[in-house]
Amino acid sequence: MGCGCISMGLHACGNAPITDRRQLKIIPESTLNSKAAQIYEKVKEKEKLSEDKKTLDRIIEIGSKIEYSVSEYFNRNNLDDPTKNFDWEYILIDNKKVINAWCMPGGKIAIYTGILEITKNDNGLAAVMGHEIAHAVAKHSVERASQGALINYGTRIIDITTGGKLSQINQTTGMNAVGLLSQIGIMNPFNRKQESEADYLGLIFASLSGYDIRETVKVWERMKEKKKGKEPPEFMSTHPSSDNRIIKINEWIKKVILDYPPIV
C-alpha cells in the first residue's frame, strides 16, 4: 500500500510521535474525537460507575500528571502537541470481572475495577494508563480506521475487476475469506505493531510523569499469571504475547529511565 502516499497524496501520511513511525491517516482525527465523545457518554449511561471516590481521585491524579508531562515534553522540544485538542475525562467502571482499561480518541479514559488487582499500586496504574493514553497520543484509532477504509476500498476494486470472484469465494465458503485473510495477514500484525508502540510510549509517559516504570514488568507478569496460559497464538491475536511484551519492556526500561527523566 506504500502508506497510501502515492495513490492518496502525501497529506494522507504522518509520523507517530517520538517513534517517528510512518502512518496512514485518511480519516480526520476530529471526526473520531467527536464520535468517541458520543460513545463515551453512552458508556457512562450504560455501565455502573464506581462510587469509590478515593480510587477515582487517584486515577484522575495519575492521569493529570501524565497529561501535563506529555504536553510539556512536546512543548519543551518545540514539537506539535498531539494532545492539544484533547478533552480529558476519567471514569471508574464498577466491574471486577472485566480486567481492562482504555482511552478513546480525544482523551476519554475508562478504568474497570477488575484491573486494579493487576495494577496493585500507583506505579502499576500509571503503567496501564500510560499505555492506553499512548494509543490516543499516537492516533492509533485514526490509523486503524484509515487502514480499514483502504482495505475495504481495495477489496471492492479487486472484486469488480475480477468479475465478482471474491464475492463468489465468500458465497462458496460461507465466510468472509478476504476479511479473515486481511485480519490475520494485515490488521492483526498491524495492531500488534501499535500495541508494542503503545508499550514503549507508555513507559516514556509514565517515566516523564515521575512513576517507577520497573513496575510495568510486574504488571505484565501478574497479567500473564491471571490468564493462566489461555492466550491465543500470537498470529491470531491483536496483541503481542505476554512473554514477548515482558522481554521487550525489559529491553527498554533502562534507556527510557535515562532518556526520559521526570518532568518537574
**Do 213 and 203 meet the contact criterion of CB atoms below 8 Å apart?**
yes
Q: Is 132 a catalytic residue?
A: yes
| Residue 51 CA from chain centroid, whole number | 27
Distance CA 22, CA 263 (A): 27
Residue with cell 474525537: 33
What is the grid cell recorded at 22?
A: 510512518
What is the grid cell recorded at 234?
A: 500470537
Burial code of 154-179, b = ≥16 C-beta within 10 A, e = fewer? ebeeebeeeeeebeeebeeeeeeebe
Provide the 10 A C-beta neighbour count for residue 54: 7
- Looking at 67, 132, 195, 215, which residue is catalytic? 132
Q: Which residues contact 193 (CB under 8 A, 6 or more apart)?
A: 21
Catalytic residues: 132
